[in-house]
Structure 1
Amino acid sequence: MSGGRIDLDKPQWDLQTFTGRLRYFMSVTDPRLSMVPSHTLRESKELLRKYRNEEEPPGTSEAQIRRAQQLYLSAFHPDTGDLNNPIGRMSFQVPGGMCLIGAMISFYKSNFAVIFWQWANQSFNALVNYTNRNAASELTTGKIAAAYISATGSALTIALGLKHYLSLKSSPMMQRFVPFAAVAAANAVNIPLMRQSELTSGVTMYDENNNEITKSRYAAMKGIGLVFLCRNIMAAPSMILLPLLMQPLEKTAWMKRFKFVNAPLQVFLSGLTLVFMVPIGCALFNQRCSLDVEKLKLLDGKKYEELEERYGDNLPQTLYFNKGL
């Protein structure tokens, strides 16, 4: 390979800037990556291992290493190095999300359709939340089941309750926004419950050299709050703007004549929106999130005293943790 060797531990782009994070997430959330076979992903991981040990095959190019790095980052968990479930990967957010969002905003009039699509969406979300959790915190099967049931129940309660209320009190346009309200409410339940062990035990925090320092529940609260915000921002344009577009469009002679194109059109437009919104939502905040030690002092004085006693003047002023996606 010509030139210097690639530092695989150093990001290709500046992740301290939104532009750098956007370029990074456009690379690893590319929906085409969801179709890459598992054996190719494992080969990429092995090539990176060999490259770290300077054992890569002769003639290996920089482009091959960068491609292997892209595949690895898109498919393997950053904490465990395990191959993630294909449906839970962020590269599957566009194909999975477009079908679910398109269906939820298309079939919102029937109670059966509301129940089925909200259930399907929460099943998908539960898998995504589990796949992209901070894996340093243990999560039992019982906790996973509780999170899934609670989130699905809250989504169905909000969706059916709002649907019934708005059908009596409001215009048909307002009823189109019920799916987004249900999704946002369910996210408020699903994400914290799926990551509840982080809230009870704390997430592992590191110094700038990735040395483990401590665990913090407040860091978990910060990470989960940011993930909740980002997930809703990802979905908002599709679930808010498309209903505004479809309401007048459905009144046109063309749409009245070809009613069968309604749902496929909304699925397509949802996908088109998510192609941009998934990387934007992921890029809003750095995945390697930070917490100032002084804030830890204010939030958890006992924890700070323990750290100060252990590290003294060597206590890092900034600690880092994986907030998840």
Structure 2
Amino acid sequence: MGENRINLNEPRFDQGTYTGRAKHFFNTTNPLNLFASGADLEKAKLLVNQYRQGIEPSGTTDDQVWRAKNLYDSAFHPDTGEKMFMLGRMSAQVPVNMTITGCMMTFYRTTPAVIFWQWFNQSFNAVVNYTNRSGDSPISTGRLGLSYALGTSVATGTAVGLNHLVKSAPPIVGRYVPFVAVCAANCINIPCMRNTEISQGIPVFTEDGTRVGDSPAAAKRAISQVLLSRIVMACPGMWIPPVIMQRMEKGAFLKKYPMMNAPIQVGLVGFFLIFATPLCCALFPQKSSMAASALEDDLKQKLKDLGKSEDRVYFNKGL
């Protein structure tokens, strides 16, 4: 095998820089990946596995390998290698979230509509959190149900309660209630969904890929990074469209065609999510790291037993 072979254990772009991570996630979250057939995904997986073994078909180019790797990464879990449920893949984030968020921000005035769309959003979040859980930690049905129930309760309770409180406030204030509800639910849903990781830890590795063990400290750091990314990701699409829609609803077009309110709002949210999703996923490296000194004592000892003098250890933060 040649000396200039691609290292498929690492993304194509430098993950040590924000720009490199952003390019990586623009590929991973590309909604067009959803249109890949099962056969296309299996073909990409086969080529990736063949290349890893050095037995890829003669004449295979680097671009072909990277295209296969991008498609593979968009559909298969980075730790388990299992094909992920379609709606849980990161490539589904923009089309699904733009629809849900746009509807949450359109139908926010009545309690039944608020409850329905907050429930729908938390149902989708539960699917995403489960599909993109870090490491190989199983999530029990009970844990999944508890997280789902808590997230839905907090989201709907926050939205209904705030709607009641802001009735006398300027109309624009009510448009931001869905954002507050989404943030509150994320703060409950994500830690609860990944509570097993907090108690049992997630796999941590040395720079050369040697597994040291499972670290609760790494899990807490991973979850906090994911939580911050999710909240920041929601900001552009839930902060800017309300201002635009507030002005548009006073104009002649929406007064004449009120049914266009939801499609326009969904389109606006989608425009911002196309950029916000990959840019916010890139806030922290997917292969994140922490100081070895922050590990639990037994893992510090394990590093010594392995003969490793590492300053940092690495882990998959999840999404």
- TM-score bucket of the superposed structures, by smaller chain: over 0.9
Counterpart secondary structure, 2:123: helix
**RMSD of aligned residue pairs (Cα, Å):** 1.8
Q: Residue 305 of structure 2 aligns with which residue? A: 310
Aligned pairs for 1:59-208 (under 5 A) are: 59-167=59-167, 169-208=168-207
Whether contact under 8 Å (2:29, 2:278) holds in the other structure is yes
Q: Distance in 1 between matches of 2:182 and 2:131?
A: 19
What do the CA deviations read for 1:267-288 (whole angstroms, capped 9, x no partner)?
0111111110011011111011
* Deviation string, structure 1 residues 75-107 (Cα, Å, up to 9, x no partner): 110000000111001111010010001000011
Aligned residues: 319
Give the drift of 1:306.
3.6
Output the CA distance in 1 between the equivalents of 2:2 and 2:54: 14
Distance 1:276 1:10 in 2: 23
Q: Equivalent residue of 1:281, what SS?
A: helix
Q: Which 10-residue stretch deviates more, 2-11 or 176-185?
A: 2-11
Does the 8 Å contact 2:212/2:303 carry over to 1? no
Amino acid at match of 1:217: P
Aligned to 1:211: 210
Deviation, structure 1 residue 308: 6.3
Aligned to 1:324: 318
* Structure 1 stretch displaced more, 57-66 or 181-190: 57-66
The letter for the 1-side match of 2:89 is R
Q: Relative to structure 1, is the Cα distance of residues 47 and 117 closer, same or farther in structure 2, using a 3 angstrom cutoff? A: same
Q: Which residue of 2 aligns with 1:17?
A: 17
Letter in structure 1 aligned against 2:312: T
Deviations 1:128-172 (A, max 9, x none): 1111111322211111111111111111111111111111x4222
Kept in 2, the 8 Å contact 1:307–1:315? The answer is no
- Percent identity at matched positions? 42
1:52 and 2:52 matched = yes
Q: Equivalents in 2 of 1:133, 1:45: separation in Å?
A: 21
Query: Would the aligned equivalents of 2:77 and 2:83 in 1 still touch at CA under 8 Å?
Result: yes
TM-score of the aligned structures, taking structure 2 as reference length: 0.95
Cross-structure match for 1:251:
250
1:195-238 CA distance string (max 9 Å, x none): 11011111111101111112221111111011011011111111
Gaps of 5+ in 2: none
Match of 2:220 in 1: 221
Measure, in 2, the Cα distance between the counterparts of 1:164 and 1:292: 46
Is the partner of 1:189 in helix, strand or coil?
helix
Q: 1:41 to 1:253 in 2, by over 3 A?
A: same
The structure-2 alpha-carbon separation of the partners of 1:66 and 1:308, relative to structure 1 and needing over 3 Å to count, comes to closer
* 1:168-190 deviation per Cα after TM superposition (whole angstroms, max 9, x unaligned): x4222111111001100000011
Q: Residues of 1 paired with 2:163 and 2:308: CA distance?
A: 57
- 1:241 positional shift: 1.1
**Aligned residues of 1:111 and 1:160 also touching (Cα < 8 A):** yes
Letter in 1 for 2:305: R
* SS in structure 2 of the partner of residue 236 of structure 1: helix
